[in-house]
Structure 1
Amino acid sequence: MLRTFFADLHIHIGRDLLNKPVKITGSKDLTLTRILQEASRRKGLDLIGIVDCHVPTVQEELRELMATGQAVALKDGGIQFESVTLILGVELEIYDQNCQGPIHVLCYFSNLESMAQFTEWLSRRMKNIQLSSQRVYVSAHELQRKVKELSGLFIPAHVFTPFKSLFGKGVKQSLAEVFLPELIDAVELGLSSDTLMAEQIAELHEYTFLTNSDAHSLIKIAREYQAIQMEACNFSELTDALHEKKGRRIFANYGMHPQLGKYYQSICKHCDGRSFEAEICLTCQKKGKIKGVAERIEELSSDQIEKRKRPPYYYHVPLDYINGLGKKTYEKLLEHFGTEMSILHDAQIEEVSELVGNRIANQLAKIRSGKIGINKGGGGKYGTLIE
């Protein structure tokens, strides 16, 4: 019998068990064990992907958890910790001769043994195996083939963001300029786009869309996630869901409204200008802009699109975006409702109002209905909610 599971497949580690940095920009609290505890006990997630599992000391911490019985390897892939399943992943940067700019990709493996083999292979092809999101000095095709040799999943990351992504920087027009299309398992949209925007690009029609947090701190875990219909939480079931086999599938995407993303609209590099004529900012009269995701997708869009049936895309707003919801109120909600998933999906608005007041309850109601107002983000600044 198929069930619905909540999954966030792009979470970074800030520090390893020796307190040494992994993701330089990641929070010091973002350790492997803390992530697993947060996802299981407070976020209410069923499946997570940690994308720095190539690091040897991260693997050492995982082995310690397994040796003490706190974590258990699953027969069909993945590692169980309390109520959450861990999928072992790595984020890498490609910049080969076919790239116009650097591209970040996500690779996932079914077990610790496969990830350790990949680490051994990577260590001879990158400068620092201890750090996250490092450049791998091989062609994109070679990397894809190696991932498939180890029965892994290959997914381009946050594909539209202006820097270090497939369409934002990596290619002029088509993913086939760099990648072997048949060796791509899914596409991660990123915070500044949604299904309707990505569907405008014809060559993405065949791929499943993922919405993940790219979390650099504990609070950002599950700021984007998806509901997946599977029989159980493991690597094999996830693989079938990405390829819509045996009834497994992405049931719904929960993503931040694209306008909340920090690269949604084009912004002048020199000022806060948002209007341009022939690449000239109409505010400061200087040339140069950070091209927004909306504009880039418009460039890539096709008039001839055979649309496939996609799961619904719900505009999710993380709790920490709600105006007036501070740490004490957040903890009060968690204590009462259990997890963030319970607050966002199941809590009665009247009960929220009684617990923490009308201001927060009204915003939550608007979020669920998709009727919240937004000041658009761009140029590296996130958008904000309008009450």
Structure 2
Amino acid sequence: MRFAADLHLHSRYAGGVSPAMTLENIALWAQRKGVDLLATGDCLQADWLHEIETKLTPAEPGFFALRPDIESALHEKLPAHLHRPLRFVLSTEVNCAPPGTRSLGGIHHLLYFPSLETIHTFREKLLPFGHFQEGRPDLALNSRQLLELVLAHDPACHLAPAHVFNPWFSALGTVGGGRTLDAVFGDLTPHLLAAETGLTSTPPMCRRIVSLDRLALFSCSDAHSLDNIGREFTLLDIEPSYNALFAALRSGSPKHILGTRKFPLHRTRYFLNWCGQCQDNFDARTCPKCRRPLVDGSRDRLEKIADRSSPLFPAFTPPFQELLPLATLIAHLNHRKPDSDIVTTLSRQLIDTVGHERFLLTEATADDINRAGIPQIATAILAQRAQPSTYFARPTREPPGPPTQQFSLPL
């Protein structure tokens, strides 16, 4: 079965997350976005864990589905062509912040669990190291100590470094990260599941780092709000089970990982260097507004820690594609903000008439899209899809060429 999997998002119990991030709303938006498999996020937080236990029900081994009555109520809010089976996997993000960690320090990791029982027992083991009122808990452990606990707890539990190049809270980040994964996880590095690229890196960037060579790559949204669900995802062809999912992610085989869709890197907040005072990014070393030194974004951080001048891909690597989300694309065409009323109306019209967002952006023909009666959007969608931002990795040191603009899109 094919799954578009978004395996990193948050509940309303995590800091900086929309209060609208309920299980029902997450499921509703996932159907509209074309996401089939979701992480629950925040499963160590007691209130959210209670909602998971009462609103989800076991499905295939290690997968969970909405309770039938909740699913029926959800489908009443959607056109019939958007009704699809939706599955969840138990997960959380945690912040490793041992004593002495600086403010805005620590390193984020993704944890995955095969059952509710393993969450409860692992939660008990972690109680001496943190509290769980926050959806993304701070743990008084370093990354190696956490990985050691995960490995000892259950062989079916997994840990992956989150948004691996983000300047803050990441294993290779500017603030608190190491120059290599071995500097962060030591001798346990080979036991990592995979590396999440995050919004601030692409496979070609990651394949310039030797310590990432042994790990497969996957992409997720890290959604803090409903509209960001599925802005990045990993497309899988697997048997529907927890073990099959994580075997595929660990192997990185293109037989099972068909590719990833990513938000355009150059539009992300922390790709260029960042000024915390002015809350803006700049292609500079010093902020042109306040003259403070800037924190290295992922682009400049990579040049400081990369082992290679160009990427070296494994012989067989899944492709990736950079695409603007539907609302962002429509907003650009109409010179509006993505959350404006006209953009919301046009997005809903397209999805309700044609199909979910993933279908619209990656598969729908011009005739399909034109059924919604908005021909200029069909032109933009097809032009974006035709841009050579899909890189098929190859066993060479040659870097992929830059995307060529074929339409007026701010990629």
Shorter chain as denominator, the TM-score bin is 0.7 to 0.9
Partner of 1:85: 87
Q: Does structure 1 residue 137 correspond to structure 2 residue 140?
A: yes
Offset of residue 5 of structure 1: 1.5
Offset of residue 260 of structure 1: 1.5
Which residues in structure 2 correspond to 1:80-119 (within 5 Å)? Answer: 80-81=65-66, 83-96=85-98, 101-119=105-123
Q: Does structure 1 residue 367 correspond to structure 2 residue 384?
A: yes
Q: Which amino acid aligns with 1:293?
A: S
Partner of 2:18: 27
Contact 1:6–1:226 at 8 Å: present in 2 too?
yes
Q: Does structure 1 residue 198 correspond to structure 2 residue 203?
A: no
Distance 1:24 1:356, change over 3 A: farther
Report the secondary structure of 1:243's partner residue: helix
Offset of residue 231 of structure 1: 2.0
Distance 1:190 1:37, change over 3 A: same
Partner of 1:18: none
Distance 1:117 1:310, change over 3 A: same
Q: Once structures 1 and 2 are overlaid, which stretch shifts more, 155-164 or 26-35?
A: 26-35
Offset of residue 43 of structure 1: 2.3
TM-score for both structures, normalised by structure 2: 0.79
Task: Give the % identical residues.
Answer: 26
Q: Which amino acid aligns with 1:214?
A: D
Contact 2:90–2:114 at 8 Å: present in 1 too?
yes
Which is richer in strand?
Answer: 1
Deviations 1:207-236 (A, max 9, x none): 11111000011111000001112122x211
Contact 1:167–1:173 at 8 Å: present in 2 too?
yes
Offset of residue 274 of structure 1: 3.5
Q: Which amino acid aligns with 1:120?
A: E
Q: Which amino acid aligns with 1:157?
A: A
2:264 to 257, 274, 277: 257
Contact 2:171–2:178 at 8 Å: present in 1 too?
no
2:164 to 156, 159, 164: 159
Partner of 2:58: 73
Which residues in structure 2 correspond to 1:219-238 (within 5 Å)? Answer: 219-232=227-240, 234-238=241-245
Distance 1:123 1:385, change over 3 A: farther
Report the secondary structure of 1:106's partner residue: strand
Q: Which amino acid aligns with 1:192?
A: T
Distance 1:145 1:359, change over 3 A: same
Offset of residue 244 of structure 1: 2.4
Q: Which amino acid aligns with 2:356?
A: T
Give the distance between the partners of 1:346 and 1:76, measured in 2 at CA: 30
Report the secondary structure of 2:6's partner residue: strand
Report the secondary structure of 1:171's partner residue: coil
Report the secondary structure of 1:251's partner residue: strand
Partner of 2:197: 189
Partner of 2:410: 386
Partner of 1:63: 53
Deviations 1:259-285 (A, max 9, x none): 121111124556668454xx445x458
Q: Which amino acid aligns with 1:89?
A: S
Distance 1:184 1:224, change over 3 A: same
Offset of residue 354 of structure 1: 5.0
Give the distance between the partners of 2:165 and 2:89, measured in 1 at CA: 24
Distance 1:356 1:262, change over 3 A: farther
Q: Which amino acid aligns with 1:110?
A: P
Offset of residue 118 of structure 1: 1.9
Give the distance between the partners of 1:31 and 1:285, measured in 2 at CA: 40
Deviations 1:112-137 (A, max 9, x none): 1111222222333213x121222111
Partner of 1:170: 176
Distance 1:222 1:214, change over 3 A: same
2:129 to 125, 137, 144: 125
Distance 1:241 1:273, change over 3 A: closer
Distance 1:326 1:350, change over 3 A: same
Give the distance between the partners of 1:368 and 1:218, measured in 2 at CA: 24
Distance 1:327 1:184, change over 3 A: same
Partner of 1:378: none
Partner of 2:392: none
Offset of residue 156 of structure 1: 0.6
Offset of residue 4 of structure 1: 2.4
Deviations 1:64-97 (A, max 9, x none): 22xxxxx431452121236111111111001237
Deviations 1:274-327 (A, max 9, x none): 454xx445x458340131111111212113875303210111221121123611
Give the distance between the partners of 1:175 and 1:236, measured in 2 at CA: 25
Q: Which amino acid aligns with 1:30?
A: M
Report the secondary structure of 1:5's partner residue: strand
Give the distance between the partners of 1:261 and 1:270, measured in 2 at CA: 18
Report the secondary structure of 2:43's partner residue: coil
Report the secondary structure of 2:92's partner residue: strand
Give the distance between the partners of 2:253 and 2:358, measured in 1 at CA: 27
Give the distance between the partners of 2:61 and 2:289, measured in 1 at CA: 58
Give the distance between the partners of 1:303 and 1:104, measured in 2 at CA: 25
Offset of residue 361 of structure 1: 2.0
Q: Which amino acid aligns with 2:369?
A: V
